[in-house]
Amino acid sequence: MSIQRDKLQFHSSTFKSPNPGPALIVSGAVHGNETCGTKAIHRVLAAFEDGSLSLTRGQVTFVPVANPLAYLLEQRSGDRNLNRKLLPYRDPQDFEDHVANWLCPLLAQHDVLLDLHSFNGGGQAFVMVGPEDNTGIVEPFSHGQEELALAQILGVGRAVDGWLTTYARGVARRRAVPRADTEAAEPVRHDVNYGIGTTEYMRTQGGYCVTLECGQHADPHAPEVAYQAILNTLAHLKLVDLPAPVPARGMEGLRIYDVIDKEHADDTFCQHWSSFDRLTKGQLIGTRKSGEQVTAPDDGYLLFPDARAQAGEEWFYLAKFNDRFA
């Protein structure tokens, strides 16, 4: 598909009330083949435009398509994954660098982000949240309770945290044992900033946020999950005159604690894995080209398996039960 990149545009729609209140931003299609958020945002925009929905305070900005190149290509990325190393660039090279130079300042102007995504495999919708309050080096944060409260009103029953801390652990491992022989030797994967996406960047700017994984890419129900989540968020923040959503109790909580890289393109899984498949300690997960068996170090769950990963890329993540959301 031939696309004139210089004709592409970045677009957002903002509604602002004369009454003071928080500023919310809702984004879709950070990955171009994840369109449930785009569909839901267009539906909510129509409600604002016809007057059936209006702000009572604060501000809301909608970004239906964060990455127009990937969206037009109907694939995850244009030149690269927008949701990795999302930072402003002085000398933008890839198309996603230009997106970042537009999107990052826009995120920084808001207090709360709802980022709408979908996933490749099967399974139920879930929400990814940031860390608990801390003053650490990797991801210092002071809005843990606000973020937890937001996660609980989105209409899903499963929550996952631990992303950036785990990613930093993977970076440290790669730096400690460099592999010049890997087939995908990308220096960026040795940079902890590579783990920064929309929500991680938002937190560096003093805001709080969640990533809502609304379902499988082609699931016809995923746009409805996204739509209800937007309405619930608007009501939760008291930006519109809708009943306050009831927080979920007893959500299933998982914490990602480790990432395992593919060392060679011929490393293989022993079976077809899906996110949130349960693991028992010692269970076989896959086999390295060398013949080494990769097994579960403990009881838990397998997340984000990528059989198509190249050597040096993330192969899968490991997670454990987390009672933070109970």
* Count: domains in the chain: 2
Give the tokens for residue 172: 């440290």
Give the pLDDT of residue 90.
96
Give the pLDDT of residue 271.
96
- Kindly state whether residues 208 and 300 are assigned to the same domain: no
Give the pLDDT of residue 187.
53
Give the pLDDT of residue 176.
78
C-beta atoms surrounding 242 within 10 Å:
14
Report the mean per-residue pLDDT for the chain: 93
Q: Can you list the positions of beta strands (E) in the chain?
A: 13-16, 23-27, 59-63, 112-119, 126-128, 158-161, 208-216, 252-261, 268-269, 277-279, 284-287, 293-295, 300-303, 314-321
Summarised one tens digit per residue, pLDDT across range 121-156 is 778 999 999 999 999 999 999 999 999 999 999 999
Query: Would the pLDDT of 25 be above 80?
Result: yes
Which pLDDT band holds residue 102 (cuts at 50, 70, 90)?
Answer: very high
Q: What is the mean pLDDT of residues 180-185?
A: 47
- We report the CATH number of the domain holding residue 46 as 3.40.630.10
CA distances for 253 relative to 112, 145, 249, 278, angstroms? 22, 15, 11, 14
* Closest by CA position to 60, among listed 10, 108, 112, 102: 112
- What SS3 state is found at 292? coil
- We report the CATH number of the domain holding residue 299 as 2.40.50.630
Of 222, 248, 274, the position where a domain reaches its end is: 248
* Closest by CA position to 131, among listed 310, 249, 257: 257
Domain range for 99 is 5-248
Q: What is the mean pLDDT of residues 27-55?
A: 97
- Kindly state whether residues 311 and 215 are assigned to the same domain: no
Q: What is the mean pLDDT of residues 53-76?
A: 97
Q: What is the mean pLDDT of residues 112-120?
A: 96
Give the pLDDT of residue 326.
82
**Higher per-residue pLDDT: 8 or 1:** 8
- Kindly state whether residues 294 and 168 are assigned to the same domain: no
- Which residue in the block uniquely carries the two structure tokens 């109970």? 326
Give the pLDDT of residue 185.
46
- Kindly state whether residues 28 and 165 are assigned to the same domain: yes
Give the pLDDT of residue 184.
46
Q: What is the DSSP letter of 206?
A: T
Give the pLDDT of residue 262.
94
Which pLDDT band holds residue 172 (cuts at 50, 70, 90)?
Answer: confident
Give the pLDDT of residue 142.
97
- State the pTM of this model: 0.93
- Kindly state whether residues 45 and 83 are assigned to the same domain: yes
Q: Phi and psi at residue 300, in whole multiples of 5°?
A: 165, -145
Query: Would the pLDDT of 186 be above 90?
Result: no
- Kindly state whether residues 264 and 215 are assigned to the same domain: no
